[in-house]
Amino acid sequence: MSEKQSIIKSLQPFIQEAWNKSGFENLTSIQKQTIPLILQGKDVVAESPTGTGKTLSYLLPLLHKIDQSKKSVQVVILAPSQELVMQILGEFQKWSEGSGIRGASFIGGANLKRQLEKLKKNPHVVIGTPGRTFELIKQKKLKMHEVKTVVLDEGDQLLNSEHVDTVKNIIKTTLSDRQIVLFSATLAFKTEEVAKGLANEPEVIRVKKDEAMSFSKVDHIYFVSEQRDKINLLEKAARLKGIKALVFVNDIGRLQILAEKLSYKEFQTEALHSEMSKIERQHALRNFRTGETNILLATDVAARGLDINGITHVIHFDFPKDMNQYVHRSGRTGRFGATGTVISFVTDREERELKKIAKELKISVHKKVFYKGEITDDRMKNHMKS
């Protein structure tokens, strides 16, 4: 029996059924390494790039261990953004189907009275943002004495200065024998040290970038242009047949200008950035998910933890600040072995940086041009003209 089969076969029948329905063939590297440890009750601190299946790495073993005959909260999953909380809830609902395990989400800005109603239904799993979760604990509405596991999803964000004190306070309300599980796409040394202070002799797992990216069938290509001409490239990319692209822009001001220009030219575009209201963000994501729009312009902060099926292209409109950011962004396409294309729009100077990143990641990047609305090799364009 393969390692994958033995891990999946050790889980509850409802999880095995959901796995068979999901169409996934293999466990990812991070799943193979962490699921057995979480099943054993060990504390885990894990780093693995975007798109490598981190949510299922903790969700499957925790669902397996929940006692649905009890009426108490047994697992608390914390996430830094409302979008990520709702995404995790969606995964929870899919994988807990038919199990009798109840889950509920708690986010800041939502109606508190309605959220208190959810607690009356005795969820086994609570998924929430730190501020709202701690508020419910302080009000003695969310009882933590039977919580067996606390998960920190996007742990590097949860342990930054904005959230760390709240997260520590939440963990303090649990009994000392609880399990702490942290997952993050990037794990700075400082974050790891804080996590080790909260956990009990955790196993630290790191999946290398090339190991994680190797199972994806992703093409990495780039176009060279002056900064001011990148908008023309984006317009050409937006016209590609069947494209569903997540476009990364570094600056909110520039993102808004791009969104206006594309909308003016009647491209189906949405924007996502941190200054938008909750309703605006939900609207933008819904339209992109359903295919109403096929281009989503986003800043890195707004796109944290986003998991949208069927993204065909990730476009680095603005060049990433480092290799981690390149990996983070690029992992939004080609998830779980699907095909995808990563496009970088680069200036001459950025082309050199891109080649350095590619060398470090051991991936090939190919220079392309647009010719008659199609992507082609630079050399081919000259050949077709002659």
Same-domain status, 201 and 320 = no
Same-domain status, 220 and 187 = no
Same-domain status, 237 and 379 = yes
The more confidently predicted of residues 8 and 124 is: 124
Same-domain status, 174 and 198 = yes
Question: Which of 46-50, 104-108, 109-113 ranks highest by mean pLDDT?
Answer: 104-108
Strands 365-371 and 374-377: antiparallel
Same-domain status, 196 and 262 = no
Same-domain status, 72 and 195 = yes
Q: Which domain holds residue 130?
A: 3-207
Looking at residue 213, what is its pLDDT? Answer: 52
Confidence of residue 5 (pLDDT cuts 50, 70, 90): low
Token pair in block for residue 120: 């009356």
Same-domain status, 197 and 220 = no
Average pLDDT of 12-34?
86
- What CATH number has the domain bearing residue 70? 3.40.50.300
Looking at residue 305, what is its pLDDT? Answer: 64
- Which residue, 207, 224, 250, sits at the end of a domain? 207
Average pLDDT of 199-207?
92
Residue 255 neighbours by CB under 8 Å, 6+ apart: 249, 271, 273, 297, 298, 299
Token pair in block for residue 248: 């990364």
Q: What is the pLDDT of residues 168-180, one digit of tens each?
A: 999 999 999 999 9
- Which residue, 161, 182, 207, sits at the end of a domain? 207
- Which residue, 178, 207, 236, sits at the end of a domain? 207
Distance of CA 24 to the CA centre of its chain: 18
Same-domain status, 96 and 18 = yes
Same-domain status, 260 and 248 = yes
Query: What is the sign of the dihedral through the CA atoms of 60, 341, 84 and 203?
Result: positive
Residue 98 neighbours by CB under 8 Å, 6+ apart: 14, 17
Is residue 384 over pLDDT 70? no
Same-domain status, 219 and 346 = yes
> Total domain count for the chain?
2
Same-domain status, 167 and 223 = no
Looking at residue 337, what is its pLDDT? Answer: 59
Looking at residue 386, what is its pLDDT? Answer: 43
Same-domain status, 60 and 22 = yes
The more confidently predicted of residues 44 and 49 is: 44
Q: Please give the single-letter amino acid code of residue 186.
A: T
Indicate the average pLDDT of the chain. Answer: 88
Average pLDDT of 292-314?
84
Looking at residue 215, what is its pLDDT? Answer: 43
